[in-house]
């Protein structure tokens, strides 16, 4: 495989990695939130006197943060944020892509920590 084909494969993997986590959408109006940042910036707090963030514990006693927000259409949305490893098929797919893409970035000259941070930013929808 030549370098051009490797780069195409790499960018296809990056795209798949980012797409696996988002988008999320409002079931009422159909508004799409491509990233967690968009979700938080393009929605409103439920009430002015509360943040809409609620700390909770899941079934495995792992602390999570639930974010309750109102879509611009008025529908209440909720997303869960945590450091917990996603054990679903989609989570496994993201980890496999991550493992394949990390060495490619290192071969291109990125230090391991820098490459890891870069991929995590892509996963979170950041630049």
Reported as a pLDDT band with limits 50, 70 and 90, residue 113 is confident
Q: 14 or 93: which carries more pLDDT confidence?
A: 93
Reported as a pLDDT band with limits 50, 70 and 90, residue 90 is confident
CA–CA distances in Å: residue 95 to residues 11, 44, 54, 65:
16, 32, 28, 22
- Residue position matching structure tokens 């979700």: 39
For the chain, give every domain's residue range.
3-123
Helix 3-21 crosses helix 89-107 at what angle (to 10 degrees)? 140
Q: 104 or 61: which carries more pLDDT confidence?
A: 104
The predicted structure's pLDDT at residue 74: 93
Rounded-to-integer distance, Cα 7 and Cα 10, Å: 5
């Amino acid at each position: 495989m030549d370098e051009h084909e490797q780069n195409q494969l790499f960018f296809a993997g990056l795209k798949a990695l980012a797409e696996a986590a988002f988008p999320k959408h409002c079931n009422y109006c159909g508004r799409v939130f491509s990233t967690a940042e968009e979700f938080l910036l393009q929605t409103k707090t439920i009430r002015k006197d509360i943040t809409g963030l609620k700390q909770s514990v899941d079934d495995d006693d792992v602390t999570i943060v639930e974010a309750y927000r109102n879509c611009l259409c008025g529908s209440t949305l909720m997303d869960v944020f945590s450091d917990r490893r996603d054990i679903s098929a989609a989570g496994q797919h993201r980890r496999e892509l991550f493992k394949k893409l990390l060495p490619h970035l290192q071969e291109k000259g990125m230090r391991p920590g820098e490459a890891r941070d870069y991929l995590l930013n892509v996963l979170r929808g950041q630049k």
